[in-house]
Amino acid sequence: MERVKTGVPGLDEIMMGGIPKSHQTLITGTSGTGKTMFCCQYIYNGVKKFNDNAVYLSFEEPADSIAENAKSFGWDFKPLEKSGKFSFIRYDPYHIEDVFDILESTIRQVKATRVVVDSVSALGLHIKDEAELRRMIFNLSVILRKLGCTSMLVSEILPGTNSLSRYGVEEFVTDSVVVLYYERLQSTFSRAIQIWKIRGSAHSQKLHPYKIDSNGITVYPKEEAFIKR
Ligand SMILES: Nc1ncnc2c1ncn2[C@@H]1O[C@H](COP(=O)(O)OP(=O)(O)O)[C@@H](O)[C@H]1O
Ligand SMILES: [Mg+2]
């Protein structure tokens, strides 16, 4: 199985070398767990260090705000966009049904092999009918699979729920699931990451601590996290 390195220190180690190539990975967690940051790190490293081209589709924050935050971690997307190796997708919320056509044509144009959709939950802001929304999430996965992209789909879950995703379909259409926790143990909140599944591969079964600082996300593959679940 060919692996794609995330470039997140420690993470590739608990995923046995990285994400299987062409897999779709669900990044799930409550708000503030670092999902957007994780996706930026994955994309930036991909283009800068691993010579992949990439596309970022955001249904949440505007591209400019993502780019500005990323810059504070030293990840400057502007030159990557200029070089044609990377593209943020700006979609029209009034023609949301066209977004996957735009996604497909942008991926082809950029020749992207890494793709982020952040978040599929926020698609629900535009698509009110849940059956329609589920169908769209499924279609999204069909397109990414057809194009062979190694993709991250973000799902934002509500605090206090035990489900892996917002709409209950995201974890079925994806090959792998990574869960980010931000939980309280007594008076301290701590961060932990878990590889829930990787289709066709072994992976760490443990809950590992991770930190967020000025370098972005770092996972501690040798340590175990203890959080209240
Ligand atoms: N420079 C930094 N140092 C430490 N933590 C940071 C820094 N910048 C952001 N964070 C943390 O990252 C979180 C935001 O991550 P983000 O990727 O936007 O989360 P999500 O997309 O899961 O909602 C913030 O809530 C904050 O706790
Ligand atoms: Mg986010």
User: Counting ligands in written order, which one lies closest to the CA of residue 28?
Assistant: 1
| Structure token pair of residue 101 | 């056509």
> Which ligand lies nearest to the CA atom of residue 39 in the structure?
1
The stretches in the chain having pLDDT less than 50 are none
For the domain made up of 3-219, give the CATH fold: Rossmann fold (3.40.50)
The Cα-based distances of 192 to 196, 208, 209, 227 in angstroms read 12, 5, 4, 8
Q: 166-215 pLDDT, tens per residue?
A: 999 999 999 999 999 998 888 888 999 999 999 999 999 999 999 999 99
Taking the C-alpha atoms of residue 113 and residue 107, their distance in angstroms, rounded to an integer, is 8
User: Atom of ligand 1 at shortest distance to CA of 29?
Assistant: 22
Domain coordinates in residue numbering, the chain: 3-219
CB proximity list for 81: less than 8 A, separation 6 or greater: 87, 88
Per-residue confidence (pLDDT) for residue 229, from 0 to 100? 58
Q: In what order do the strands lie in the sheet with 188-198?
A: 86-89, 54-58, 114-118, 150-156, 24-29, 176-185, 188-198, 207-213, 216-219
The pLDDT of residue 91: 87
Ligand 1 atom nearest the C-alpha of 180 is 22
Question: Which ligand has an atom closest to residue 35 CA?
Answer: 1
Q: Which of 62, 71, 88 is closest to 37 using CA atoms?
A: 71
- Spacing, Cα 216 to ligand 1 middle (Å): 9
Question: ∠ at Cα 224 (222, 227), nearest 5°?
Answer: 155
d(CA 32, ligand 1 centre) in Å? 6
Q: pLDDT tens digits for 22-33?
A: 999 999 999 999
**Can you give the pLDDT at residue 155?**
96
Mutate to test the pocket of ligand 1, among 30, 37, 56 (most ligand atoms within 8 A of CB): 37
Q: What is the pLDDT of residue 189?
A: 86
Greatest distance between any 2 Cα atoms in the chain:
50
What pairs with residue 20 in β-bridges? 3
Which pTM was predicted? 0.95
Task: Give ligand 1 pocket residues (Cβ under 6 A).
Answer: 29, 31-37, 212-214
**Would you tell me how many other CB atoms lie within 10 Å of the CB of residue 82?**
9
Rounded Cα gap, residues 193 and 221, in angstroms: 10
